[in-house]
Every structure is written in structure tokens, then in C-alpha cells.
Amino acid sequence: MNWLNAQARRVPTWVVYLAGLIPLGLLIWGAVFGGLGPDPVKAIERGLGERGLQFLLASLAITPLRRVGLNLLRFRRALGLLSFIYVTLHLVAWVWLDMGLRWGEMLADLTKRPFVILGMVGFLVMIPLAATSWNGAIRRMGAAAWNRLHKLAYVAILAGAVHLALLSKVWTTEVLIYLVLALGLLALRLVPRGGLRRPASV
């Protein structure tokens, strides 16, 4: 584990951002040159949403991993911001490509369709998280207030996972994996800090 921590410290944060934007580049490539299947709009929309959920899951996994000795804390901000970027683009794709800026229909969906409501809730709670992700926000708010605010990430991950499940309509293995991971990460937050002990030696 010490070797893994040493290797992680050598990785610049910008590498995580760059690697995290590769899926976006592939989606753009597929949209321009084909390869996204018979419904490219849905492929773009789903692809962006899933990447947002994946990066959010990864950011929430940082703390449990740290408890068992793998310290990736320096990458949590990058993972969280990448998640926000993809979720925002997912919303843009829905508003622009899918709904064609039909604001009346979108407002109706926001009052009638649970998966749309949950998706919007997940996006809205991520806005203050992204806005306060810089070091100056921690100094201005104080660590305690900042930590309380960033517990909204739990709301975001739960809303995102259920949003995907309701949107999929079919409980596939993929959907179940996302739900299990989301619920598992939330459950680990309830485990006392001493509950997951760092191995004596690895």
C-alpha cells in the first residue's frame, strides 16, 4: 500500500483532468464521425450522465480507501469537478439535443416525471459543491461549515443512481451495480472511523 501511495503522489492532478476528459472526446468523435448507434442523441445523453455518476462514485470512494491505507485525497477535487462537468453537459444535452429547448415540455416533466425531478435535484445540489471546491472557500467558510455543505454529495449520488435506475426502466446488471456502489459508499459513511482499520503492513 505504501508503494501505491508513493506512486499516486507522483501523478500530477492535471493528468486526472486530462484522462477524465477522454470519454468526452470519444463522445464528440462519435457524434461527428458516427458510431453512436441508431439514436446518437440518447447515446450522448446517457454517456454524459453515466460518466458524471462514475466520477461522483470515484470521488466518494476516496475516504473509504483512505481508511484502509490508500491515500488518493489529492485527486478528490478533480474527480468531483469532472463529475460536475459531465452532469452539466448531460443536462445541456437533455435541454438542447433531446428536448429541443421546448421549455413548456421540460417544465411539465419537472413536475410529473420522477426521474427528471431526481436528476434535477442531483444537479442543483452539485452547484454549491463545485462553487466551493477551491481552497479559498474552505478558508472563508471554515472547515466545519465546508464539510457540512459537502455532505450534499450524498444527496447527489443517491439522486443520480436512482435517476439512472428509473430512466433505464429495466433493472439491468449495470444499473444494479451503480445502485449497490452508491448505497455501499453511503453506508460506509455510517461506519465509525475506527471501523475500517488500516492494515498493519501491506
Which DSSP string corresponds to 77-126? HHHHHHHHHHHHHHHHIIIIIISTT-HHHHHHHHHH-HHHHHHHHHHHHH
Is position 202 within any domain?
no
C-alpha cell at 200: 498493519
Nearest Cα to Cα of residue 94 among 49, 164, 45, 53: 45
Residue 199 included in any domain: no
**Are 44 and 27 within 8 A, CB to CB?**
yes
Nearest one of 102, 124, 131, 118 to 158, comparing CA atoms: 118
Is 200 inside any structural domain? Answer: no
Residue 40 falls within a domain, yes or no?
yes
**SS3 state at 34:** coil
- Has this prediction a pTM greater than 0.75? yes
Residue 132: domain span? 2-188
Q: What is the chain's pLDDT, residue by residue, as a tens digit (202 residues)?
A: 777 777 778 889 999 999 999 999 999 999 988 888 888 999 999 999 999 999 999 999 998 888 888 888 889 999 999 999 999 999 999 999 999 999 999 999 999 999 999 999 999 999 999 999 888 888 899 989 988 999 999 999 999 999 999 988 778 899 999 999 999 999 987 766 655 554 443 3
Is 147 among the domain residues? yes
Q: Is residue 105 part of a domain?
A: yes
Q: Total domain count for the chain?
A: 1
Q: Answer yes or no: is 14 within a domain.
A: yes
In a domain, residue 182? The reply is yes
